[in-house]
């Protein structure tokens, strides 16, 4: 993961909202960030409990679909709630089908949080309807949370005085097989970007022909966490389309020329009809 995006994400979400408190020193804040490896994958065998008390492995919660994953403190009083709300709203307005095209997975950072805390956060930040059914707010013990954050390259700092975390505001887009495809800035996610990210992560399993054509011309910019028009891709796509059109035109012209020659040959070699003798 490009460092500029990690710095930008950290800068916008400090759940320990008072930076002058001595419980989190500047050195600890400097360690908060996101250093995702290019081949990062989730530990799918982690056991996690949902807000309704049911337990299962992370792989089951993902459901072998593209998913958006957010790490949050369920008792956060500042920005964790708005991040979840923004991501949920972007998904709801993405035009994709909740449950069929994606799931929303939120995992608690604080092992002390309870299922009730997770349920309260879900009720407050996820609108009722289809999004509620496909959103899972999960909890794990300290070892589980540590393994997950380590796999994601996700570093946070704990403020014991406020029982809050300073951590990156990030939305991870996960492929159906549990790999991290994209990282989007949690407070700046929009429906168009999250739609393209999920379609990209699904490797063609979801989305329309227009979406896939758009992905040919747009590239993901890790510095901004958005999809932007890539001139090289645009030229390649338009060049490919031009070559295809020219090839089709040439093929049609050659086919027409062969048909014309065949017609001329038939006329020139038509057998002469025998004449019936006549008498004057």
- State the pLDDT at residue 3: 43
Residue 125 lies inside a defined structural domain of this protein: yes
Q: What is the pLDDT of residues 120-158, one digit of tens each?
A: 999 999 987 889 999 999 999 999 999 999 999 999 888
CA 47 → CA 4, 44, 60, 67, 138, distances in Å?
33, 9, 10, 18, 10
Residue 273 lies inside a defined structural domain of this protein: no
Would you give per-residue pLDDT tens digits along the chain (280 residues)? 444 454 345 444 555 444 444 456 666 667 788 888 878 999 999 999 999 999 999 999 999 999 999 999 999 988 899 999 999 999 999 999 999 999 999 999 999 999 999 999 999 999 878 899 999 999 999 999 999 999 999 998 888 888 888 888 999 999 999 999 999 988 889 999 999 999 989 887 776 766 666 666 666 666 666 667 654 444 444 454 456 556 676 767 667 767 766 766 655 555 555 555 555 4
CA 142 → CA 61, 113, 147, distances in Å?
19, 11, 9
Residue among 39, 104, 95 nearest 66 (CA) = 104
Reduced DSSP (H G I as helix, E B as strand, rest coil) percent helix, strand, coil of the chain, to 5: 40, 20, 40
Residue 243 lies inside a defined structural domain of this protein: no
- State the pLDDT at residue 8: 43
- State the pLDDT at residue 230: 55
- State the pLDDT at residue 2: 42
Q: What residues make up the domain containing 35?
A: 3-203
- State the pLDDT at residue 206: 75
Count of the separate structural domains present in the chain: 1
Longest Cα–Cα distance of the chain, Å, equals 131
- State the pLDDT at residue 4: 43
Q: State pTM to two decimals.
A: 0.72
The DSSP H or E segment spanning 185 is strand 180-185
Residue 237 lies inside a defined structural domain of this protein: no
* 101 HSE (CA, 13 A, CB side): 22
Q: What is the pLDDT of residues 7-42, one digit of tens each?
A: 345 444 555 444 444 456 666 667 788 888 878 999
Residue 156 lies inside a defined structural domain of this protein: yes
CATH of the domain at 167: 3.40.30.10
Residue 279 lies inside a defined structural domain of this protein: no
Residue 209 lies inside a defined structural domain of this protein: no
Residue 256 lies inside a defined structural domain of this protein: no
DSSP 48-101: EEETTS-EEEHHHHHTTS-EEEEEE-TT-SSSHHHHHHHHHHHHHTSSS-BTTT
Instruction: For residue 203, give the DSSP letter.
Output: T
By residue count, the chain amounts to: 280
- Neighbour count for residue 214 (Cβ, 10 Å): 18
């Amino acid at each position: 993961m490009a460092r500029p995006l990690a710095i930008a994400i950290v800068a916008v979400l400090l759940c320990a909202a008072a930076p002058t408190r001595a419980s989190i020193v500047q050195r600890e804040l400097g360690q908060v960030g996101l250093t995702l490896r290019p081949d990062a994958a989730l530990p799918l065998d982690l056991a996690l409990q949902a807000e309704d008390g049911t337990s299962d492995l992370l792989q089951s919660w993902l459901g072998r679909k593209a998913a958006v994953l957010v790490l949050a403190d369920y008792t956060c009083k500042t920005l964790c709630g708005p991040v979840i709300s923004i991501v949920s709203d972007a998904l709801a307005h993405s035009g994709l089908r909740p449950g069929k095209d994606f799931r929303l997975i939120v995992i608690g950072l604080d092992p002390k949080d309870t299922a009730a805390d997770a349920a309260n956060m879900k009720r407050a930040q996820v609108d009722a309807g289809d999004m509620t059914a496909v959103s899972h707010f999960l909890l794990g013990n300290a070892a589980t949370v540590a393994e997950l954050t380590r796999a994601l390259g996700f570093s946070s700092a704990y403020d014991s005085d406020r029982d809050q975390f300073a951590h990156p505001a990030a939305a991870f887009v996960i492929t159906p097989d549990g790999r991290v495809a994209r990282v989007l800035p949690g407070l700046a996610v929009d429906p168009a970007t999250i739609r393209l990210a999920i379609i990209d992560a699904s490797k063609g399993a979801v989305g329309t022909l227009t979406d896939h054509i758009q992905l040919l011309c747009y590239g993901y910019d890790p510095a901004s966490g958005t999809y932007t028009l890539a001139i090289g891709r645009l030229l390649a796509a338009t060049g490919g389309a031009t070559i295809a059109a020219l090839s089709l035109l040439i093929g049609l012209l050659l086919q027409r020329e062969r048909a014309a020659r065949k017609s001329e040959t038939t006329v020139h070699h038509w057998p002469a009809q025998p004449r019936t003798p006549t008498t004057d």
